[in-house]
Amino acid sequence: MNYLHLKGLAHRDIKSSNLLFDEEFTLKIADFGTATKLGKKGEISGQWGTEGYRSPETYEGDPFDGILADYFAAAVVLF
């Protein structure tokens, strides 16, 4: 995820079914259908992602930090 964020992208749908392992058990992120470029200050908007993995601010309709939303979803997966 850090690589994506450094490239100015937010995945917007981090969930267990979008995380894969290769033959060496290296974690890979898949399904970039909802990915988007980060705006000014890393902000994005819209209600994308899967219920249960989305951060609370994604439901408000206001611009939010796409990086923090991705990390929230990753924390849900880890939990």
Which residues does the annotation mark as catalytic?
13
Q: For residue 17, give both structure tokens.
A: 């079914």
Cα distances (Å, whole numbers) of residue 36 to 1, 24, 32, 72, 73: 13, 29, 9, 17, 16
Residue identified by tokens 């908007």 is 45
In this structure, are residues 14 and 73 in contact, taking their beta carbons and an 8 Å threshold?
Answer: yes
